[in-house]
Amino acid sequence: MDLSFVILVEVLYGVASLVLISAGLAVVFGMMKVINLAHGEFMMMGGYATITAVGLGVNVFVAMLVIAPLVVGLIGLIVERLVIRHLYGRLVDTMLATWGLSLVFIGLATMIFGNTTTGISTPIPGFAFGGYQVNGYNFFIIIVSIVLVIAMYAVLRGTRAGLIARGTMQRSNMAAALGYSPDRIYMMTFFCGSALSGLAGAVLAPLVGLVPTSGGAYIAKAFITVISGGPSLIAGLVSSATSFGLVSQFFTFAISPVIGEVALLIAAVVLLRTMPQGITGRFFKGKL
Amino acid sequence: MSLNRRELLGGAAALSTAAMLPSAAMAADTIQLGSILDTSGIFDAYGKPMDQAMRLAVKEINDAGGLLGKQVEVAAYDTQSDMALYSQYAQQLTRQDKVDVVHGGILSASREAIRQTMRKTKTLYFYNVQYEGGVCDRNIFVTGVTPAQQVEVLVPYAMKKSGPKVHILAADYNYGQITARWIQKFVEENGGEVVATDFFPLDVADFGSTITKIQQTAPDLVFAPLVGGAHLSFFRQWSAAGMKDKIPLASTTMGVGNEHKVLTPEEGNGIMVAYNYSQELDTPANIAFKEKWQAEYGDTTAIHELAVSTYQGIMLWAAGVQKAGSIERDAVVDALETGISIEGPAGKVTIDPQTHHATVDVHIMEFEGQGMTVIETLPQRAPIDTQAVCDLQANPGDNTQYEIEI
Amino acid sequence: MGRNGSHDVIITLVVSALLIWLLPLMISTYTLTVLVIYGMLGLSLGLIWGFGGILCFGQAAFFGLGAYTYAIAAINIGESTLPMVLAVLVPAVFAALLGAMMFYGRLTDVYLGVITLVVTLILFKFVNSTAGPQYVIGNARLGGFNGIPGFQTLNVPGDPSAYIWGDPYFYVCAIALVAVFLLVTWLLRSSFGRIAVGIRENEVRMGLMGYDIAARKTVLFAIGAAIAGLAGALFANWGEIVTPKLFSLGQSAEIIIWCIVGGLGTRFGPIVGAAGLAYLKFMLGQQSMIDNTLIMGLILVLFVVFLPRGLVPAVASLLNSIFGRTKRKPRPRRMRTARHG
């Protein structure tokens, strides 16, 4: 009983963390068709932003939930203005550019922070449940992910800005004809995507050993999750994160973490083979 | 086609004469020291301080008048954490720069990528990194510690402090596998029992399930020779789950690249380790070393065990050259094989003639406030693991990396 | 592409003979060898991506597979001829199976990219976790993260003690690259190649014309993998060690970048991109002023902004405008952007 509760928390955490690390990439890729290979480095910078802010005496939650997304969002904005905006509609070139950017960010972070930056401890202590210790911070990550998904849905569905954004992504010339500048909307979308990446990096920062090259660990997983999700942004993100999270955690607990990761990858192959357009190419069609 | 073949043959002939030309006229008035390290890319946490230590050692030698009256010149290459570049720069160092000695290599794979090149070109090679042991080659000297040196002293100490049931979490590669076997051996010799052993490839960063599993096996002690940035997550998640105060941790790798400075004091305090070096060593040699480092680089926080090993490796080589009175490889090897020793920042380091490894002081330490507090010093521990398989005195032509059977 | 086949072949042979003669005067042959090998690897992706429209994120898988096949076979067999053949065949067969799985499943665009990426990651994770003594193929320990050192390197066929290394090995690799290049040229000029380009341009149209698209893509994919496998085997011989890094995501990304930088849709582009960037990396490692990762990243970003079509097309159009030859304008890079639903 105690054990099954602990495992349940871990499984939920597995799903939630997949949602979290994929959200930023999902927005940028799903709405703008830009494969942001610097996504992992955006997360890494979110982590460093948090650590730096906490070091300066900022409350840890403010640092994670406000400062890090803002900082990384602004960096994303600069990157978009300087580089990405020249490359819209050229999928391959954006890949090269963002790969180059990821190397630049790694180099910069190494020069600024070095390799041994002291992290921050989790602000929520672990607690005992029956005979087991549970990581209390997992609940925080689960809650952040749920709130994030709801917020994304609400913004895209319920607000005028969301409507305009969706319209621009579908038919940018129509949106332009109606008086909305696609340029500015792309800019804002990239800002939001980067901010989400920063948020993910910040929230995970207390649980990982943060070094300038940490970003590489996330990009493949996020990429696989987003593409397997298919055309619908939110439904795709949630459904693929859930399937992969469940599969990988099942095998992780049944056998070992390595097998869990391999199971996730094999699940991705099987899934894309049976549903060549991703999950939401088959199910939840036309949903957000 | 005949045209092509003629062109080719002509090219080949032209080349074989041309190849003789370019190698820049050898500067006979300096001694060339080659260095080959990852100072950028994912392994730069290890490589950068090693590079600094190398330059510091050379500067010190030169300030003291050089070796045999000649200045030492550095030819350093950054392999950018790319294995193919190791092979290329090894060729560059041995065939074009024609250096007198090469110090470097970080991962075992990088050492194996360049070791044969060094041997073929008769270039003396120093590998200054803690590794899994077993390399037996007269052309190489290893100044880092090997698993048995650490585990032999750390296991009894850690078990005395905790209890007999041990759970091992090791990095899944050569080093981790071999270290795990040594831990098992010494745990059993000390009357304990290994309840489980888990291996993790170097990119695993999520240890939630592992922490749950450890609670099921309920050991008295967790031995965690985990390696690299991703594995640091274990120590953080362990603490986040509140396990830190329930089951003590010991490690043979944590902190070797200053990883303990990434952990907060609450996360790190109390982890037991055993190394050749700690910044907190309170010896005159170490204090002097830190002062020199401070004067050169302005900040001593980067110093770690591998950097000190590099420094000591260069000093040992220098002592060998002085003793030989020559920079010829065979003369220097003979001189080093007399069991030469130096007083380094980490204590006395002696070359073991039988294995070309180093006999060093091993300190049992605990993390405290992001430093390593020395609990106990065990002087002059021999590399017993490599000694079990390698005897270069009896068998100088040996050229293998043995896998040590326990 | 030229109208006159033999004319093209002669030009290729003369130019490459000149290069093989001149380059060793400037760069050491050991470094040149790896540049040639990378060039071949770049060409393998350039073929299937630039001419077949197959965006493969996992070309490194075939490269690594070739290298590991060679290493394992060489340890077990001891003579290098059969291992070389196996190192070409195994990746080709693997790619044929993988390709059939993907193309008959009508996977396209980024979905294809993800599958190839995932397969590479699976191979990487597998090889990376084989450090234990239980992972043995014949006499060869897989070695996990540390890789496999110490296998028999290339020898004169039939004589295991006559090693080919140093300068002769460079000539072997260079001639292999020229041969592969001519093979690719011939392939592209054949009806198979023209149909492959047709499929890249419009799959539906070619399908309606009655061509079996899945089969043709599978074959092209397998040929690309065979070339990558050959490059892998040559690389194993050159480095005398194989490690799981050959399978890594970084390696795959690097191959893609070579193609983009050199110029996609050309035969020279990927070779030039690969050799150029690898040499740049080699040069960068000799300085220690600024972080090399940073410099490399900046170069790539500047490249894509200011020279988006890649080096070879840009130089070609520059030459054309200077010499005013009224040859056909270089084709702009045609890549379909990802489209959904």
Residues with Cβ within 8 Å of residue C110, at least 6 apart in sequence: A35, A91, A227, C55, C338
User: ipTM of the assembly?
Assistant: 0.87
DSSP output for C92-107: HHHHHHHHHHHHTTT-
Q: Model's pTM, two decimal places?
A: 0.88
CB spacing of A104 vs C294 below 8 angstroms: yes
Chain B residues lying within 8 Å of C30, measured CB to CB: 87-88, 91-92, 95
Measured between CB atoms, which of B229, B266, B267 is closest to A211?
B229
Residues 123-182 of A with CB under 8 A from C: none
Tokens encoding C163 = 């090693």
**Min distance C243 CA to chain B CA atoms (Å):** 8
Residues B286 and B245 in one domain: no
Residue B249 lies in a domain: yes
Q: Which of B275, B303, B333 is the last residue of a domain?
A: B275
- pLDDT at position A284 over 80: no
B33-59 average pLDDT score: 92
d(C-alpha A185, C-alpha A198), whole Å: 20
**What is the number of domains present in chain C?**
1
In this structure, the dihedral spanned by the alpha carbons of residues A86, A88, A89 and A94, taken in order and rounded to 10 degrees, is 80
Of B240, B275, B310, the domain-final residue: B275
Does residue C140 belong to any structural domain of this protein? yes
Q: Which of B237, B259, B275 is the last residue of a domain?
A: B275
B217 touches chain A (CB under 8 A): no
Establish, for the pair of chains A and C, how many residue pairs have beta carbons separated by less than 8 Å: 142
Number of domains present in the structure of chain B: 2
| B interface test, pick of C25, C30, C146, C173 with most B CB neighbours within 10 Å | C146
Which tops the pLDDT comparison, A85 or B18?
A: A85
The answer to whether the CB of B44 falls within 8 A of the CB of B111 is: no
Residue type, C252: S
Give the residue-averaged pLDDT of C73-101: 95
Q: Which residues contact C263 (CB under 8 A, 6 or more apart)?
A: C269, C270, C272, C273, C309, C310, C311, C312, C313, C314, C333
- Mean of the pLDDT values across residues C326-330? 50
Confidence check: pLDDT of B2 > 70:
no
Same domain, B121 and B181: no
CB contact under 8 A, C106 and A231: no
Q: Which chains touch B (3 or more CB pairs under 8 A)?
A: A, C
Whole-angstrom distance, CA of residue C95 vs CA of residue B167:
42
Nearest residue to C216 (alpha-carbon basis) of C90, C53, C335: C53
Question: Of A18, A4, A36, which Cα lies nearest the Cα of A190?
Answer: A36
- The residue of chain B nearest to residue C251, with distances taken between CA atoms, is B82
pLDDT for residue B6 is more than 80: no
Structural domain boundaries, residue B333:
30-145+281-361+381-401
User: Is A105 in the B-facing interface, judged by CB distances under 8 Å?
Assistant: no
How far is the C-alpha of B298 from the C-alpha of B301, rounded, in Å? Answer: 9
* pLDDT class of B49 with cuts at 50, 70, 90: very high
The confidence score (pLDDT) of residue C3 equals 53
Asked if residue B332 has pLDDT above 90, the reply is yes
- Could you report the per-residue pLDDT of B228-286, keeping only the tens digit for each? 878 888 999 999 998 988 999 999 998 888 888 888 898 899 999 999 999 999 999 99
The 10s digit of each residue's pLDDT in A74-95 is 999 999 999 988 888 788 788 8
Residue C260 lies in a domain: no
Yes or no: say if B186 and B406 are a contact pair by the CB < 8 Å rule: no
Higher confidence at residue A141 or residue C113? A141
Q: What is the nearest CA distance from B203 to chain C, expressed in angstroms? A: 9
Evaluate whether residue C199 is within a structural domain: yes
Pairwise CB contact (< 8 Å): A231 & C110: no
Specify whether B349 is located in the same domain as B393: yes
Per-residue pLDDT at B27? 46
B166 and B110 share a domain? Answer: no
Best of B8, B39, B184, B404 to mutate (most C CBs within 10 Å, chain C) = B8
Which chain A residue has the Cα nearest residue C99? A273
| pLDDT of B174 | 83
How close, in Å, is residue B348 to chain C by CA atoms?
31
CB–CB contact C129 B177 (8 Å)? no
In a domain, C294, yes or no: no
The answer as to whether C154 is a domain residue is: yes
Question: Touching check for A110 and chain C: CB below 8 Å?
Answer: yes
Contact predicate A224/A22, CB 8 Å: no
Q: Which two tokens stand for residue A149?
A: 């998904």
The reply to whether C58 falls in a domain is yes
Note whether residue C186 is domain-resident.
Answer: yes
Candidates A10, A18, A41, A116, partner chain B, best to mutate (most B CBs within 10 A): A116
- Mean pLDDT, rounded, of chain A: 90
Average pLDDT over all residues of chain B: 89
Query: Looking at residue C4, what is its pLDDT?
Result: 63
The whole-angstrom distance between C234's CA and the closest CA on chain A is 27
Per-residue pLDDT tens for C268-304? 999 999 999 999 999 988 877 778 888 888 888 888 8
* pLDDT band of B186, cuts 50, 70, 90: very high
pLDDT at C326: 52
At residue A268, the 3 state secondary structure works out as helix
Supply the pLDDT for residue B20. Answer: 39
B9: which residues sit within 8 A by CB, 6+ positions away? none
- With residues binned 3-state (H G I as helix, E B as strand, rest as coil), the percentages for chain A, rounded to 5, are 75, 0, 20
Please spell the DSSP secondary structure of B204-231, one letter per residue: ----HHHHHHHHHH--SEEE----HHHH
Domains of chain A: 2-123+135-282 (1.10.3470)
A neighbours by CB contacts (3+ pairs under 8 Å): B, C
CATH code of the domain covering residue B256: 3.40.50.2300
Output the pLDDT for position A45: 95
| Same-domain check for residues B244 and B266 | yes
Q: Is residue B406 part of a domain?
A: no
DSSP letter string, B256-310: TTSGGGTS-HHHHTT-EEEES--TT---HHHHHHHHHHHHHHS--TT--HHHHHH
**How many residues are listed for chain B in this entry?**
406
Question: CA nearest A161: which of A173, A175, A149, A150?
Answer: A175
Range of the domain at C47: 5-252
